[in-house]
């Protein structure tokens, strides 16, 4: 389990818990497999204009005894509703794993996801998705092979 063995302190700050928009901040201090741990999370949901919604989330863990296992993960999601049956979504994800056992810069990975969805008939969907991954290891950047997917689901009323 990636949960701490004992949490000695937790601080939560939340706004807008009962509505679409809001923010959250979490700070936890505790024990993780014999190491002092600091875990943080910052996130939020926004709707700047009616058809556009945005969400962001960043999580990190710092282990004082095992500093080679520090990591951070984040994502930003933008969803635009074109019409009542059509949407476009963009998701940017990133992760950073720090290895302090040598002189490396650690590993970073970023993914850019684009998704188009259309409900062409009630309960029937057509999707087109595209993912472009990027990776950075020890200071060397690499653009990985993209992935494109098409999905069609049809609801049959018998």
pLDDT given for residue 14 in this prediction:
77
Confidence class for position 71, pLDDT limits 50, 70, 90: confident
pLDDT band at 132 (very low <50, low <70, confident <90, very high): very high
119, β-bridge pairs: 125
Bridge partner residues of 92 (DSSP)? 76, 112
Q: Are 108 and 136 in contact (CB under 8 A)?
A: yes
In angstroms, rounded to a whole number, what is the distance separating the alpha carbons of residues 40 and 54?
21
| pLDDT for position 19 | 63
Tokens of 69: 């296992």
pLDDT at position 1: 46
Is a pLDDT exceeding 60 seen at residue 130? yes
State the Cα–Cα distance between residues 135 and 110, nearest whole angstrom.
6
CA distances from 154 to 120, 121, 149, 157 (A): 9, 8, 17, 10
Residue-level pLDDT at 62:
79
Which residues of 33-154 form beta strands (DSSP E)?
A: 35-49, 52-63, 70-83, 86-98, 107-121, 124-137, 140-143, 147-153
pLDDT tens for residues 72-93?
899 999 999 999 999 999 999 9
The reported pTM is: 0.74
């Amino acid at each position: 389990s990636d949960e701490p063995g004992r949490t000695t302190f937790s601080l939560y700050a939340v706004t807008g818990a009962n509505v679409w928009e809001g923010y959250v901040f979490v700070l936890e201090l505790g024990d993780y497999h014999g190491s002092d741990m600091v875990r943080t999370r910052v996130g939020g949901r926004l709707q700047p204009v009616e058809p556009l919604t945005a969400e962001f989330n960043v999580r990190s863990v710092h282990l004082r005894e095992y500093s080679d296992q520090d990591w951070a993960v984040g994502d930003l999601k933008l969803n635009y509703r074109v019409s009542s049956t059509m949407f476009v979504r963009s998701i940017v994800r990133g992760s950073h794993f720090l290895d302090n056992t040598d002189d490396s810069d650690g590993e970073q990975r970023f993914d850019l996801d684009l998704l188009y969805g259309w409900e062409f008939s009630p309960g029937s969907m057509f999707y087109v998705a595209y993912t472009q991954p990027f990776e950075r290891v020890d200071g060397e950047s690499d653009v990985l092979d993209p992935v494109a997917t098409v999905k069609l689901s049809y609801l049959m009323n018998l």
